[in-house]
């Protein structure tokens, strides 16, 4: 009887410790985000470190391209057709990433932040701040070249056959390069990152960057 009571007390204590740590972690997380917003936001231009804010695609609007990789269902056929067309030309397009939830972006962003020397602005060069990534919409994709995997997420990707093929053909499938070299948004050049604007709804999502670049008025 006594032993049982001790065991129960130990269990309750254990569970409490786990719960308290969980709550603390969550608190730290939101504190970091609030600090980040206060210090880094540029509300006057509606931009955060050069990025615009994007809503998260609804689960029902996402289609699985391959395990762990989903994109907006409206971009699905375009992507599959584009990959097939590239393949016909001897180019293997690798889908490196598609939809990313805000929660996932937060985890990645603050995981990088925990490296003491990295500043928010440097991190944003690699990853948009959580909630500010085109990947949230499900319309943005990162592409690699099957014959040059060393160039995945590297500027060198611009020298691959895949990139040259995309420059010539991506627009036929509704895909545009989001962050060309020296883009007016001030976001790091990302030759691997393309967004789908092949439907009116998709185009509407990217009204802000397209207004900035003068593509739409
Ligand atoms: Zn990307």
Say if residue 31's pLDDT is above 80: no
Say if residue 43's pLDDT is above 60: no
Say if residue 44's pLDDT is above 50: no
Return the pLDDT at 216.
78
Contact 72, 55 (CB under 8 A): no
Strand partners, 63: 71
Compute the distance from residue 49 Cα to the ligand 1 centre, in Å: 15
pLDDT per residue as tens digits for the range 154-206: 999 999 999 999 999 999 999 999 999 998 888 889 999 999 999 999 999 99
Return the pLDDT at 113.
64
Cβ within 8 Å of residue 208, ≥6 positions away: 46, 52
Compute the distance from residue 135 Cα to the ligand 1 centre, in Å: 6
Compute the distance from residue 126 Cα to the ligand 1 centre, in Å: 9
The residue among 200, 182, 201, 199 whose CA lies nearest residue 190 is 182
Compute the distance from residue 189 Cα to the ligand 1 centre, in Å: 11
| Whole-number Cα distances in Å, 66 to 78, 80, 102, 174 | 15, 11, 20, 21
Compute the distance from residue 125 Cα to the ligand 1 centre, in Å: 11
Return the pLDDT at 121.
59
Compute the distance from residue 51 Cα to the ligand 1 centre, in Å: 12
Mean pLDDT of 6-19: 67
Reading the block at residue 6, the tokens are: 């001790």
Compute the distance from residue 117 Cα to the ligand 1 centre, in Å: 23
Selected residue with higher pLDDT from 169 and 116: 169
pLDDT per residue as tens digits for the range 52-92: 899 999 999 999 999 999 999 999 999 999 999 999 999 99
Reading the block at residue 143, the tokens are: 């592409």
CA gyration radius, the chain: 21
Compute the distance from residue 152 Cα to the ligand 1 centre, in Å: 11
Compute the distance from residue 146 Cα to the ligand 1 centre, in Å: 17
Compute the distance from residue 143 Cα to the ligand 1 centre, in Å: 8
CA distance linking residue 177 with residue 179, whole number of Å:
6
Compute the distance from residue 75 Cα to the ligand 1 centre, in Å: 15
């Amino acid at each position: 009887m006594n032993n049982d009571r001790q065991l129960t007390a130990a269990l309750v204590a254990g569970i409490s410790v786990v719960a308290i740590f969980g709550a603390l972690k969550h608190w730290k997380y939101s504190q970091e985000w609030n600090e980040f917003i206060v210090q880094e936001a540029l509300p006057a231009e509606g931009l955060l470190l050069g990025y615009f804010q994007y809503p998260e695609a609804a689960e029902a609007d996402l289609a699985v391209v391959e395990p762990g990789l989903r994109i907006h269902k409206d971009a699905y056929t375009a992507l599959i057709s584009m990959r097939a067309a590239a393949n016909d030309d001897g180019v293997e397009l690798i889908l490196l990433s598609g939809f990313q939830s805000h929660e996932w972006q937060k985890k990645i962003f603050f995981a990088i932040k925990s490296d003491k020397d990295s500043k928010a602005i440097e991190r944003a060069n690699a990853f948009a701040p959580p909630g500010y990534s085109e990947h949230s919409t499900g319309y943005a994709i990162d592409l690699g070249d099957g014959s040059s995997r060393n160039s995945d997420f590297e500027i060198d990707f611009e020298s691959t056959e895949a990139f040259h093929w995309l420059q010539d053909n991506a627009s036929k499938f509704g895909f545009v390069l989001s962050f060309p070299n020296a883009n007016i948004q001030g976001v790091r050049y990302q030759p691997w990152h393309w967004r789908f604007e092949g439907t009116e709804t998709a185009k509407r999502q990217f009204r802000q960057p397209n207004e900035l670049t003068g593509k739409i008025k």
